[in-house]
Amino acid sequence: MAILTIRTLGDPILRSKATPVTAFDDDLAQLASDMHETMHAAPGVGLAASQVGRLVRVFVYDSGDEGERGTLVNPEIVWASEETEEAEEGCLSLPGTYYPVTRAIAVKVRAQELSGAPIEKEVEGFLARIFQHEIDHLDGILFIDRLAPELRKEAMKALRDQDFGMSPPPRAKASKTL
């Protein structure tokens, strides 16, 4: 097992869409194991493969409740409740950044287990929020993208002020030497 490097805002991989997993092998199991270790060490409650530099559709989660931890491969939301709830979210890829995000209070997710076996999970509350957040990562979406326009503008300014890799690159100075 190994603790992996968590990519932070400004890394283009976080804005990339992950590809489906096709090989359910020891490498996938090792990735999931390393992701669980990384998530717990951070500490966090969810971690998508893209956050550790792997563009595959895998995420791990641990809500802290007994039995509410695991790995989902190739997840997709097949149903979301019309009822929503606003709650503060953070992200391991945006350390120290927290904003209120509106999400469905319940979702049904179709995915695969590490073995490749199909699975469906209907979850609500905090676990539904985790699933939506992590699936967004797999689609190149960060939680700040879900903010209301004015709040998003405020968040982006705050993140630029923290220099989360969002500053434009310095301009090269013209050389007078020929």
- pLDDT one digit per residue (tens) for the chain, 178 residues: 799 999 999 999 999 999 999 999 999 999 999 999 999 999 999 999 999 999 999 999 999 876 689 999 999 999 999 999 999 999 999 998 999 999 999 999 999 999 999 999 999 999 999 999 999 999 999 999 999 999 999 888 888 887 655 444 433 343 333 3
CATH homologous superfamily of 12-161 equals Peptide deformylase (3.90.45.10)
Amino acid 169: pLDDT: 40
Rounded to whole angstroms, the Cα distance separating 173 from 178 reads 14
Q: What is the distance, to the nearest Å, from the Cα of residue 103 to the centroid of all Cα atoms in its chain?
A: 15
Amino acid 159: pLDDT: 85
Q: How many CB atoms lie within 10 A of CB 169?
A: 5
Amino acid 64: pLDDT: 85
Amino acid 14: pLDDT: 98
Rounded to whole angstroms, the Cα distance separating 178 from 160 reads 37
65 phi/psi in degrees, rounded to 5: -90, 145
Q: Which residue(s) pair with 109 in the sheet?
A: 77, 121
Rounded to whole angstroms, the Cα distance separating 46 from 58 reads 11
Three-class DSSP category at 98: coil
Could you check whether the bond before residue 43 is cis, i.e. omega within 30 degrees of 0?
yes
Contact at 8 Å (CB) between 51 and 115? no
Instruction: Give the C-alpha distances (Å, rounded to integers) separating 133 from 26, 162, 171.
Output: 26, 22, 36
Token code pair at residue 174: 């013209």
> Catalytic site residues?
134
Token code pair at residue 47: 């971690």
136 phi/psi in degrees, rounded to 5: -55, -45
Segment holding 157, helix H or strand E: helix 149-161
Is the full-model pTM beyond 0.85?
A: yes
Rounded to whole angstroms, the Cα distance separating 83 from 85 reads 7
